[in-house]
Every structure is written in structure tokens, then in C-alpha cells.
Structure 1
């Protein structure tokens, strides 16, 4: 029966509510840096706050279930999760492929830290990823790519990696586990920023790693212990609390994104629009094969930077912000951060406003 649950039911179920009589329905945070230890020094589940926390475990169990993993590890940010994984998987002479068109901080970390340690860093776009993987030891793929929203064929990429016995890591931030299940398509690990749609309220930073290889997950957990990029228990509790409404929020965000993309496609002020859910989008065939939902992000190209600024100024609902996945619809002109896109390129992160309202607002603001 559990396999037939919808996503809102799944997200509610993973945060608890089915404990013994008398237990609270809502889980409570456990803010502790130290714990009482057994007098005989045996059997201690929790000892110190950098090692473990009961709130972490509850959140990690929920994230593992949503990703279809056997285990998950939480971090203080998505970058904390990614860098921990890359430290474990790479060493001098390792060939690592990272997205050339994905989140720019990952490229910076690979170039400024890993390359200096002797790692051979190769940057590949979504279209180049499968070819680049043919000579790689570790592949970090992001799909849909942030911010251009190209989609990587994960089944094909996983087949190539398996043939080389290389490790495939997939950043699932944009799609979320309610839109894409990378592990079921052959990925070895999932990394993600829970800061975005899973937490969904623009009020915390969090990240996680999920996987099914116990030995590999143990190595990553050891790196987390030694390097210390842990998630605070209160932030862990906030993510867990937010997961209960993630199904509702993500469904609305995806619906809004699809409606806005359709409107933008035919608007005279728009040079181009990208959304994997649009039938005419270059990524739609692959996205339709591997994604359950197409996400809450839309990429739009306007005439120039001034056009993006005017869009925000004329709007009553849009917020200029660089993160995504929150309840408000946000606009981010990506060229300001150094992404290789045009000056008028903007990433729209759709919120949970009423669909007719946000479509009408953006259409009016475009002029």
C-alpha cells in the first residue's frame, strides 16, 4: 500500500506522527552539544554534538526515504555536502568531471582547491557530460542544470560510469526527490541543497548526501566528523518541519512554473525561455523520460540587464533574490554572478502564489 502513496502523503508520513500513545505528533528539536554517558562507557548512541544528534537522525531517515536511499547524511549547507563527497572520492591523479554550466561555486571549489591537490578537473556542459564521463573516475552531474535548465540523460550517463567503474554523483537540488530519483537511474550518490525547495521558506541553510553503499556512506560520515560541516539541531528541526508541506509546495511551484513558461514562450518581450516541461524545449524528451515533475525554475532571456531590472520594479509579486525554492517567486539575473549567460538572462524561481495571479503579474510587468 505504501508504494501507492502520493507525494504529499509521503512527505507528511516521513516526518512522523505515528508514534506510541502519549508521544507528541510534532517532533521536537534536541539542541545538545553533550550527552550523559553510560557509567561503564558502553552503548552510548550520542556522545557529542559534532558526532550525532537525534534530530539529525530523524531528518536523515526522512531524506533517505524520499531519495530511495538506505542512508542520508545532513550538512550545514549544500556546498558542505558536495565538498565532503568530493574530498572522499578524489585524490591526486583522479579525473573529476564537474558541470561547466551548473552551480558556479562547485567549479570554483574544484579549480581553487581540488586541482591544486593534483586532481584532474574537467568541466563539461550537460550536452558534453556523457562524452566526458568516458575518461573519468568521478562524475558530478547536475540536472536540470542551474541556471540554464538543460537536462542530463542520467540512465545513459550511469551506464557509462558503470562500465568504467567510476562513481556518479548527482546534484538533485533543482528537481528535488519529488521530481527525480537519481539513485533509481543508476547514480551512486545524491547531493542536494535542502536550503531550496525542501526547506522552502528562505530562512535556513542545509544540505545532504544520500546513497545505498554503506561503506561509501561511512567514509563520507567520517569526513563530516573530522571536518565538521554539521547542521545545527534547530536547523535540522526546521527542515524536518518543512518537509511535511513540501509535497503541497512543490506541486504548486511546478504548476506555476509550467504556466509562466507557457506565457513567456509567446510574449514579444522574451527572446527565449527554457523549461524542461515545455513540449518544444530541447531537454523535454529526456526530462519526460526520467522526471516525475519538471521543477519550479524557469530560465528566461530578456533584451538586457535593464529589462530584468524593469521586470522586478514593475512587478507587485516578484522578489529579487539569488536563492530559489522558497514560497515567494524570485528573479535572479545570473550574469551578475559570473555565469556564462547573456546580460538579460534571468532565472525565475516560482513560489506558491495563486497561478493566475503570478502569471498576470509577470505578464503585466513585462509590458
Structure 2
């Protein structure tokens, strides 16, 4: 079955007793036991809830994994993943990554003795060199946030196996409809389901999908033990968002292509980061490992001093953090999403005061271009 067909009906056939087409919201903390030593399969909603279970099963099917796990946020999902490691472990991580992930490793896990080593994961040789020094895991964003660099996931998967490292991919920007990291060698896929998976800017949620039962069981233990699970109402909202994921992504990608092409030709723009542009360094690599280029665009201004006026002047774009919703958003990563990364590192990476990031929504592309043309 094609993923689009599966998603259109996710949860629609679960309730055989009533025939409910929409997956019911099981807004309950606990479940009645049939008898002593007996269970319906559900006991307490932290350990398992039918609405959350359908979401988790849907994501496992989409990614081709053995199990999915839903969390109260994307950071809660990453925190669960990080619990696989112990003091003395070393993790190779994408250097231009979401600032919250950097904060998690630097402020929470480095003091516990878990070391994150940051490399350009679009540079396969740099990753190989870092893994050769010993690492328990490789965590990659691809495309990266906010510079949209593309890693060679197949090759990195081979390198991780060669060095005995767990390979995890943050697939938030792509979703399983555009990129399936488990099929490219990853062991675990991470999502901020707040973004494209839900797609309506009304839920905060996170997801993990594991390829093998051994890793899945450990992650499920941590999920239950720590308890940062996604509630049933939010699980239902994410399921509802998944039903339209295919049509949303198609329109968002078409809009992103139009916006990126406009920006690439504008004299006020020094550089555009969008893998859908033929001159993007990762264009061919992305074509070979994914079914699309996504709908995130970032660009560097020739004059960074104009950034505040652009943020204040846009009328259709919303000046807001997050991404992946039906509304188009604009943000300045250096002072918002990536503020926790030290200034020197941001400057070296190119996450400067002149870099603006766009999350392209479902509006008419001509209106989006006109809004940017006016403020530029």
C-alpha cells in the first residue's frame, strides 16, 4: 500500500465495536482489569494508551521500523534517545544543528560525562575521522537546521556499522514521506512531531522509531520509566495532521521552490540555502536518497543590518519560531532557535545576524514572493 493511502485512513479502522471512522480519544488515566492477573493490554496511560498506540504504530509502519514511541515534545524524544548512553560515552553529532539539541547535550549530558563531538556531517571524511576516534553513536540532522546541508546517509550508515556506533537521524525536516533513514542504514529516527508530522502549529510532540527490537525495548523502558509521554488528545491531533501530510508537503515544496528561486535572483540576497536549487552542494545527494527537498529555506542578506526591518515589515510571513505548519514563518536563528550555541561557533558555521530562515506554508506562492519582494 502507498503511504498516502495508509495515512488517509490511519486510525479509521481501529474501533471495530462502534465503527468510528475517527480514532477515538481515550482520555483516561487507568483501565479496568478483567480479573486478577488479567489485562486488556492497557493498564495505565503512561505505559500505554490506545490513541497514542495507533500514532506509534502508524509511524513505525511509515518509517519501516519495528516500533514507534510518542513523547510530550521533540526534546523529550531526544532525551529518551540520550538515555541509551552512560558516562564516558562519546557521541558524534551534526555541528549546525537545532540549538535545543545542542543545549541538551552541553547543559544536561556533558556534566554527566557523556561527550558530544560536533562535526560537519555533510563531510563524510570528517565523520569517518571522528568515528575512528571511538564513538557510541552518530546523530545526524539532514537537512541541517538552519543551513540545510545534506549528509550522505547511506555512507554514514555503513561507517556507523563499521565502527559499532548506533546511527540516529533527525528526520524532522523531511518526514517519512520524503526520506526514510531506516532504509538508508539508520537504527533510530527522531522527529519533532510538532513540525510537519502534525503540521498545524497546535501541538508540541516528539517521536522515535527504532529499526530493531532490542533498541526499541530499551527506548520503551526509558519512555515508561521517565514518563514524558504524549497525551491522548495530542496524539489524536497528530494523527489528524498525518492524514493530510502528503498533500501539505506537495504544496509546501512547490511553494518553497518558487520562493527559493526568487531569493536566488534578488540583489539583496548573498546566498540561498535550499537543496532543491540545482547549485546547492547537496542537490544531487538529496535526489539520490530522498523523494523531495522539503519546504525549509534559509538565506543570507548582503546587509545583515536590514534583518530587523525585514522581520518587522513582513505581512504574510509570521515572525515566529517553529516550522512545518500550514502558515509561513520567518525567524532569525542566531537570536532565536540557535541562541544557546556560543557566538564564536555560530559565526564559524554561518549562523549570523544576517541569516534568515523561512518555513514555507500553504499560501499562494505569488503572495509569499510579493511579501518578501516588498521588504527586501
CA distance in 1, matches of 2:44, 2:18: 28
Q: How do 1:313-332 and structure 2 match up within 5 A?
A: 313-332=312-331
CA distance in 2, matches of 1:83, 1:49: 20
Residue 131 of structure 2 corresponds to residue 133 of structure 1: yes
Residue 354 of structure 2 corresponds to residue 344 of structure 1: yes
Residue 178 of structure 2 corresponds to residue 182 of structure 1: no
Q: Residues 184, 227 of structure 1: CA spacing in aligned structure 2 closer, same or farther, 3 A cutoff? A: same
TM-score, with normalisation over the residues of structure 2? Answer: 0.92
Task: Show the counterpart of 2:368.
Answer: 358
Larger mean CA deviation between 186-195 and 20-29 belongs to 20-29
* Structure 2: tracts of 5 or more residues without a match: none
CA distance in 2, matches of 1:105, 1:313: 25
CA distance in 1, matches of 2:218, 2:156: 24
Residue 67 of structure 2 corresponds to residue 74 of structure 1: no
Number of aligned positions between the proteins = 361
Task: String of CA shifts for 1:310-357, please: whole Å, max 9, x gaps.
Answer: 223333211001100011110010110325112110110000112222
Q: Residues 348, 130 of structure 1: CA spacing in aligned structure 2 closer, same or farther, 3 A cutoff? A: farther
Give the deviation of 1:11 after TM superposition: 2.0
CA distance in 1, matches of 2:295, 2:179: 13
Task: Show the counterpart of 1:25.
Answer: 21
CA distance in 2, matches of 1:149, 1:187: 19
Give the deviation of 1:300 after TM superposition: 0.6
Give the deviation of 1:177 after TM superposition: 1.0
Task: Show the counterpart of 1:110.
Answer: 105
Residue 116 of structure 2 corresponds to residue 121 of structure 1: yes
Task: Show the counterpart of 1:310.
Answer: 309
Larger mean CA deviation between 337-346 and 53-62 belongs to 337-346
User: SS at the partner of 2:39?
Assistant: coil
Q: Give me the CA root mean square deviation.
A: 1.7
Give yes or no for contact 2:311–2:331 (8 Å, CA) kept in 1.
Answer: no
- Deviating above 6 A after TM superposition, structure 1's stretches of 4 or more consecutive aligned residues are none
User: SS at the partner of 1:141?
Assistant: strand
Task: String of CA shifts for 1:14-34, please: whole Å, max 9, x gaps.
Answer: 342586595011112111111
User: SS at the partner of 1:25?
Assistant: coil
Q: How do 1:56-71 and structure 2 match up within 5 A?
A: 56-71=52-67
Task: String of CA shifts for 1:57-109, please: whole Å, max 9, x gaps.
Answer: 11111111111212100000111011101112x11221111222101121221
Give yes or no for contact 1:304–1:345 (8 Å, CA) kept in 2.
Answer: no
Give yes or no for contact 2:268–2:303 (8 Å, CA) kept in 1.
Answer: no
Q: How do 1:1-367 and structure 2 match up within 5 A?
A: 2=1, 5=2, 7-17=3-13, 20=16, 23-88=19-84, 90-126=85-121, 127=123, 128-134=126-132, 135-337=134-336, 338=339, 340=346, 341-366=351-376
TM-score, with normalisation over the residues of structure 1? Answer: 0.94
